[in-house]
């Protein structure tokens, strides 16, 4: 998936990510080949069809197995401009960060620029339409974790190039500094969307 490839690339960038100041205290909380003659072609075509059908079924089963986790939704919130945001996973990875991912759906009839999702920090303005302004809140530990960014202020997160069109659903991800191992439940929040409860899974 494009998202996974993007996330892998972004993870490589965490080595240069600036983590200082990103944790804040929270107040109050085989297809077959054709033969040479016609008879061989017919047999080959029949064999190839059977192989392809079996192969497709096997591939479909494998794809379904791989995509099952992405169909699970931890949280779904609806808010500004008829936007629905889902959180599908939050995984603690090696390197001391957490990757949160999900989807954004524009249920309205107007283009959604996600302009206020990029955050109010000056260095995040260059991220344009993105989830750069998202945060994870550990209410028990009274900490707020901001999206990681590289040395040039580019967030380790999805950028919605061209925004989100009416009726469009697009995937997103964001990486944060990891809370302590004992913290498994946090709240994800971005822009004016309602907070979404998230459970962090351990990394492999």
Do 77 and 67 lie in one domain? The reply is: no
CA distance 178 to 90: 10
Position 130 in a domain: yes
Q: Which residue, 96, 164, 94, 178, is CA-closest to 136? A: 178
Do 88 and 145 lie in one domain? The reply is: yes
Instruction: Judge residue 9's burial from the number of C-beta atoms within 10 Å of its C-beta, 0-12 exposed, 13-18 middle, 19 or more buried.
Output: exposed
- Which CA distances in Å does 192 have to 3, 82, 115, 174? 24, 12, 11, 17
Position 134 in a domain: yes
DSSP for 50-92? HHHHHHHHHHHHHHHHHHHHHH--SEEEEEGGGEEEEEEEEEE
Position 43 in a domain: yes
CA distance 193 to 201: 23
Tokens of 181: 């191992």
Do 160 and 111 lie in one domain? The reply is: yes
Position 204 in a domain: no
- Residue 130, pLDDT above cutoff 50: yes
CA distance between the termini of the chain: 19
Structural domains counted in the chain: 2
Q: What is the pLDDT of residue 196?
A: 96
Of 47, 71, 95, the position where a domain reaches its end is 71
Position 110 in a domain: yes
Going by the DSSP 8-state scheme, the letter that residue 164 receives in this structure is: B
Tokens of 192: 């004016």
Summarised one tens digit per residue, pLDDT across range 83-117 is 999 999 999 988 899 999 999 999 999 999 998 89
Do 54 and 24 lie in one domain? The reply is: no
Q: What is the pLDDT of residue 30?
A: 40
**Domain range for 106:** 2-28+73-199
- Residue 63, pLDDT above cutoff 90: no
Do 66 and 119 lie in one domain? The reply is: no
Summarised one tens digit per residue, pLDDT across range 167-177 is 999 999 999 99
Q: What is the pLDDT of residue 48?
A: 45
Do 104 and 194 lie in one domain? The reply is: yes
Q: What is the pLDDT of residue 18?
A: 52
């Amino acid at each position: 998936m494009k998202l996974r490839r993007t996330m892998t690339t972004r993870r490589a960038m965490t080595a240069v990510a600036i983590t200082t100041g990103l944790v804040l205290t929270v107040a109050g909380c085989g297809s077959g080949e054709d033969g040479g003659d016609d008879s061989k072609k017919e047999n080959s075509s029949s064999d190839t069809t059977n192989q392809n059908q079996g192969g497709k079924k096997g591939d479909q089963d494998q794809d379904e197995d791989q995509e099952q986790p992405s169909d699970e939704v931890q949280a779904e919130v609806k808010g500004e401009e008829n936007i629905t945001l889902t959180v599908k996973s939050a995984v603690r990875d090696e390197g001391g960060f957490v990757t949160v991912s999900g989807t954004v759906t524009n249920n309205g009839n107007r283009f959604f620029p996600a302009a206020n999702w990029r955050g109010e920090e000056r260095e995040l303005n260059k991220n344009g339409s993105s989830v750069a302004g998202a945060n994870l809140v550990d209410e028990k530990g009274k900490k707020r974790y901001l999206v990681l960014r590289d040395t040039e202020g580019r967030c380790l997160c999805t950028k919605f190039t061209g925004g989100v069109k009416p009726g469009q659903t697009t995937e997103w991800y964001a990486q944060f500094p990891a809370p302590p191992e004992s913290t498994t439940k946090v709240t994800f929040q971005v822009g004016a969307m309602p907070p979404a409860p998230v459970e962090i899974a351990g990394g492999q």
